[in-house]
């Protein structure tokens, strides 16, 4: 029997507020264990929470970016469960009335992933397992967290990864989280089930907790799908349970039986007021949203004529996109700016974090000035690249590195003379080319470019060399 994979994701994202969701403790990552907590986030008797307004605004921004409706009135709830990483023995979350609901994400294959809800809650502490002991660090306890819950709309591992990458990209773009998976500020629970192909009925699901790596998530889904398929083919039933993924062994193992809402005994949080988000506040936040990456990518392709890959890379990083758009008013052809950024500049921004920060020593105006010289046929591509490297090394403008001779250009007659000289002084390359070795032409072209100090038009030089090498007189 063939089975169809059915997945849903519950993605947890830590918000980039300076203080925690219900107290004034710092949300900075790391620090000595248990040094960034207070009576409120530790749940000590007599302490009272106070809701962080910015955390609410960030949650609404996330909802608007994902096409959600915003609840004008919502409230916080107590979710009761007793684990050592929750010192209060309950978590303040949202149950029946989340801040955001009914959104969607559209994948590249056209699949619509429905967003059921986005709610605000507090993060738990961190369990540290070492030397056979389990220690608890409460520094993370109370950090504001949103949970983005999808419907079970994923039908492949590739769809799940693309969705999570889009969520990470979008949340970074709107500035509400750094979404660093290695630091736990983005992690996802994956609900996995199988059903016979063609069936509309959902199978029994298992939940794999706290995926903090795209690769681990893919491997965990693949393993769990194979495990469930083997169970079903043996005529047995999949048990509803919560699992952890063991990457070193590439397998899942049970943590506990899967809880339902009734197990948490939700009730409205008595120490906090209801949360009101009036329509005018929603509109103010909507207007503050930047152009989102998918929209920007489509615009770059349709209006600026960039390729899919160029548009995707430039729109992936908000500061890179802003830099690119800062160059455009100064040039005629957007592709020239794209080539410079995706070439010399990207080579220097080696990591994802480097590209996110986009600390480029050359201003958009200065790059525009250099590209103007190319578009005005004052310099050629090779000289542009060489000059841009010097600009990136020093932060100086292009005129610091270009001489009057560089800008004078080369006449067609001068170029032909250089090509003739290259042919005369490189007989071995000429012989190789005429015997069918196409690569030999590169040696001749290199000689011309060296003689012209990069000022020659490479395409015109190549054309002239071919004419010289194939002309009857030259063969005679």
Whether 319 and 258 map to the same domain: the answer is no
CA-based nearest residue to 269, from 26, 50, 56 = 50
pLDDT tens track for 218-256: 999 999 999 999 999 999 999 999 999 999 999 999 987
Beta 69-70 vs 186-196: how paired, if at all? unpaired
Whether 231 and 377 map to the same domain: the answer is no
Beta 126-130 vs 133-137: how paired, if at all? antiparallel
Tokens found for residue 418? 């250089």
CA-based nearest residue to 3, from 229, 238, 234 = 229
Whether 247 and 387 map to the same domain: the answer is no
Instruction: Name the domain boundary from 268, 285, 302.
Output: 285
Please give the tally of structural domains in the chain: 3
Least confident of 149-163, 185-199, 419-433, 451-465: 451-465
pLDDT tens track for 342-391: 999 999 999 989 999 999 999 999 999 999 999 988 888 888 999 999 99
As a whole number of angstroms, the distance between CA 51 and CA 2 comes to 49
Main-chain dihedrals φ then ψ at residue 210, nearest 5 degrees: 55, 55
CA-based nearest residue to 157, from 40, 6, 296 = 6
Whether 207 and 317 map to the same domain: the answer is no
Q: How far is CA 208 from the centre of its chain?
A: 23
Assign 259 a pLDDT band (cuts: 50, 70, 90): low
- The chain-wide mean pLDDT, for the chain, equals 93
Whether 124 and 161 map to the same domain: the answer is yes
pLDDT value of position 410: 76
Look at residue 8 and tell me whether its pLDDT is greater than 70: yes
Residue 236 CB partners (closer than 8 Å, separation 6+): none
Better-predicted residue by pLDDT, 438 or 341 = 341
Q: Which residue is associated with the tokens 């009272």? A: 48
Whether 459 and 391 map to the same domain: the answer is no
Indicate which CATH number applies to the domain containing 431. Answer: 1.10.10.410
CA-based nearest residue to 407, from 428, 389, 383 = 383
Look at residue 184 and tell me whether its pLDDT is greater than 60: yes
* Residues 384, 387, 389, 395, CA torsion sign: negative
CA-based nearest residue to 138, from 128, 148, 152, 150 = 128
What global pTM score does this model have? 0.85
Look at residue 138 and tell me whether its pLDDT is greater than 50: yes
Look at residue 476 and tell me whether its pLDDT is greater than 50: no
pLDDT value of position 457: 79
Whether 350 and 453 map to the same domain: the answer is no
Instruction: Name the domain boundary from 367, 383, 408.
Output: 408
CA-based nearest residue to 370, from 401, 343, 349, 346 = 401
Whether 362 and 240 map to the same domain: the answer is no
Whether 334 and 434 map to the same domain: the answer is no
pLDDT value of position 129: 85
Mean pLDDT on 295-299 = 96
Assign 405 a pLDDT band (cuts: 50, 70, 90): confident
Whether 55 and 182 map to the same domain: the answer is yes
Show the domain range for 420: 412-475
Whether 183 and 205 map to the same domain: the answer is yes
pLDDT tens track for 348-361: 999 989 999 999 99
Whether 260 and 364 map to the same domain: the answer is no
Look at residue 473 and tell me whether its pLDDT is greater than 70: no
- In our burial notation (b when 16+ CB lie closer than 10 A, e otherwise), range 40-72 reads bbbbeeeeebebbeebbbbbbbbbbbbebebbe
Are the C-beta atoms of residues 407 and 378 closer than 8 Å to each other?
A: yes
As a whole number of angstroms, the distance between CA 88 and CA 262 comes to 19
Mean pLDDT on 435-462 = 87
Instruction: Name the domain boundary from 408, 427, 448.
Output: 408
Are the C-beta atoms of residues 409 and 415 closer than 8 Å to each other?
A: no
């Amino acid at each position: 029997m063939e089975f169809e994979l059915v997945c849903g994701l519950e993605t947890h994202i830590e918000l980039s507020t300076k203080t925690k969701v219900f107290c004034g403790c710092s949300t900075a990552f790391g620090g000595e264990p248990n040094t960034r907590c207070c009576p409120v986030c530790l749940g000590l008797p007599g302490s009272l929470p106070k809701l962080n307004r910015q955390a609410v605004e960030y949650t609404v921004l996330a909802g608007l970016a994902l096409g959600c409706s915003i609840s004008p009135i919502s409230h916080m709830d107590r979710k009761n469960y007793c684990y050592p990483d929750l010192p209060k023995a309950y978590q303040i979350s949202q149950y029946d009335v989340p801040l955001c609901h009914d959104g969607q994400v559209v994948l590249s294959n056209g699949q619509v992933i429905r967003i059921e809800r986005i709610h605000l809650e507090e993060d738990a502490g961190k369990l540290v397992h070492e030397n056979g002991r389990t220690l608890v660090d409460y520094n993370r306890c109370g950090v504001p967290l949103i949970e983005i819950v999808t419907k079970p709309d994923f039908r492949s591992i590739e769809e799940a990864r693309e969705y999570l990458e889009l969520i990470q990209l979008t949340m970074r773009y709107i500035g509400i989280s750094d979404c660093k998976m290695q630091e736990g500020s983005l992690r996802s629970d994956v609900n996995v089930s199988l059903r016979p192909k063609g069936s509309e009925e959902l199978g029994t699901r298992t939940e794999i907790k706290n995926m903090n790596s795209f690769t681990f998530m893919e491997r965990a889904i693949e393993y769990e799908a194979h495990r469930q398929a083997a169970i079903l083919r043996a005529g047995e039933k999949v048990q509803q349970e919560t699992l952890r993924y063991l990457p070193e062994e590439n397998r899942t193992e049970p943590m506990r039986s899967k809880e339902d809402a009734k197990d948490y005994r939700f009730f409205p949080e008595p120490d906090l007021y209801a949360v009101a988000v009036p329509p005018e506040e929603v509109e103010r936040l909507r207007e503050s949203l930047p152009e989102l990456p998918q929209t920007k990518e489509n615009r770059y392709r349709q209006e600026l004529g960039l390729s899919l890959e160029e548009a995707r890379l430039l729109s992936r990083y908000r500061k890179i996109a802003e830099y690119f758009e800062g160059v455009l008013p100064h040039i005629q052809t957007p592709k020239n700016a794209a080539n410079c950024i995706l070439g010399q500049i990207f080579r220097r921004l080696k990591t994802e974090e480097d590209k996110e920060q986009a600390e480029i020593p050359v201003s958009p105006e200065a790059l525009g000035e250099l590209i103007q010289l190319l578009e005005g046929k004052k310099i050629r591509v090779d000289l542009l690249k060489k000059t841009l490297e010097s600009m990136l090394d020093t932060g100086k403008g292009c005129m610091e590195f270009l001489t009057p001779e560089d800008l004078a250009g080369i006449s067609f007659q001068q170029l032909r003379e250089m090509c003739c000289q290259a042919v005369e002084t490189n007989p071995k390359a000429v012989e190789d080319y005429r015997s069918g070795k196409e690569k030999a032409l590169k040696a001749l072209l290199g000689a011309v470019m060296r003689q012209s100090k990069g000022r020659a038009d490479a395409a015109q030089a190549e054309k002239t060399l071919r004419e010289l090498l194939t002309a009857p007189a030259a063969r005679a």
